[in-house]
A and B are shown apart, each in its own frame.
Chain A
Amino acid sequence: MLLTLDLNDLRPLHEQVAGAIRRAIADGSYAPGDRLPPARDLAGALGINANTVLRALRDLRDEGLLEFRRGRGVSVLGRPDAHAVLVEAARELLAEADRYGYGPEEVIHIIRELS
């Protein structure tokens, strides 16, 4: 599972981790029924506390994206809904724009021009 965190992201860490996992599921890394790597492994790789990852996983379970099963770990239940994926993509776009010195208004302007 590929996870990317933006170091300039100001949201709480568990929200960022949830976003990263949602993105990984949305891009087809994991299909419904597939088992996720354990929270301990994800936390170890990201260098963060396992409880933060568990909190992110619980949030995604409440969203209906993941399923917790005793003895079988965490598996994917469904695909994230379009809105959540678009929000995540827009957040990335805004972060990218910010790096080039563009504000949200200018991004909206670009989107208007394109559509």
Chain B
Amino acid sequence: MPVFSPGRNAPGAVAPVPSRGRAVTVAAVWGSFVTAVLVAAPLMLRDRLPDPLATHWSGGSVPDGNASFGVALVFSVALWAVIWAGLLGSALHGAVLRARLPRVHWWGFLLGGAVFALGMQAVTLNANLDAATWHEALLPGWHVAVVIAASAAAGVLAGYLGRGEPDRVPDRSSADKPIMRLRPGQRAVWVSRVSNPWLIGLTTTALLAAMVITGLAVLGVLEATAAWIALAVSIPIGLMGVATATVQTRVDAEGLRVGFGPWGRPARRTPADAIESAWAERRSPAEVGGWGIRVVPGSGRTTLMLRGGDVLVIRRTGGGEFAVSADDAERGAALLNAYIAETAGS
């Protein structure tokens, strides 16, 4: 009799992260350095800056917003401090460095975020430098474009250098895959339904927003172009949300059926003879790159992620893996393996 883990989504044991100490040290030293530059640069140039400073430009190179020296300084440091605190916190927590994809993001944001914060401050100071008042502080648009491009490039480079070892794909030999005994004259099915309340909330908000926008546009309060743009954003978010905030997974003699949305439709069926094997695994949204339908580039692994925790994974006979968030996933995998064995035997 196989021993199953509890069907509910219980947190499992966590393996240590080898590169954590180094990442925390780099983040602490590098972050302090960036903070020091962000504080020191405006103070050193203070004599050559107008007060208040121009701090906001809309489209053109002529400023349309200003702030006192102190406020501008606090804002530019705060922009970096938020990014830094988030990165340092997630490195101390450790989970984000365990898999390759979140590790790439982490290093990318550490360097790209710093270049962005430093660059934005540099172009702001440069525009204000030697200006009589903040009205004369002109900022050419391409300066901002250069900062964005440079931070993106730095982020990509840092992500690439910090990518580390590829993720260890656990060996799935037939010995350790769960299986159960099917008795003749018995009908066995397995069902799971998982919803993500946050995604449902987001979806509801998007759909409500779409309704309000339509109402305002009909009443003539909102300009038609603005309404179309807002609808083009909110309706796809709402529909995607409806389809992926709830997922219904079913294993029966036919194979695997994954139903999207609260009504389980549309559904995607994978017949038992198209599946090589099935197993349960723990995956976090950070590992697969977020929520919803996620594909890890180059791996052939697709995950329908609704919440961190148990997923039911299948490997197709033609290659490729598909995983879906499911409670009690181990029993589902065991039943699916039993049906796969039965199909292969008959």
Contacts and interface: CB of A to CB of B under 8 A. Distances in A.
Interface of A: 1-8, 27-31, 34, 37-38, 41-42, 44-46, 96, 99
B192 interface: yes
A8 B185 contact: yes
Contact of B6 (A2, A31, A38, A99): A31
Contacts of B192: 1, 37
Given A1-B328, A37-B193, A38-B193, A29 B188 contact: no
Nearest to B192: A37
B186 to A, nearest CB: 6
Nearest to B7: A29
A4 B186 contact: yes
A53 to B, nearest CB: 11
A45 B331 contact: no
Chain B: interface size category: 20 to 34
Interface string B225-265: 00000000000000000000000101010000000000010
B8 A1 contact: no
* Interface SS majority for chain B: mixed
A51 to B, nearest CB: 17
A7 B6 contact: no
B213 interface: no
22 contacts: A2-B328, A2-B331, A2-B332, A3-B188, A3-B189, A4-B187, A5-B186, A5-B187, A28-B4, A28-B6, A28-B7, A29-B4, A30-B7, A31-B6, A31-B7, A34-B327, A37-B191, A45-B190, A45-B191, A45-B250, A45-B252, A46-B189
Contacts of A46: 187, 189
Contacts of B4: 27-29
B193 A41 contact: yes
Given A1-B191, A2-B332, A2-B335, A7 B185 contact: yes
A39 to B, nearest CB: 11
A99 B190 CA distance: 24
A41 B185 contact: no
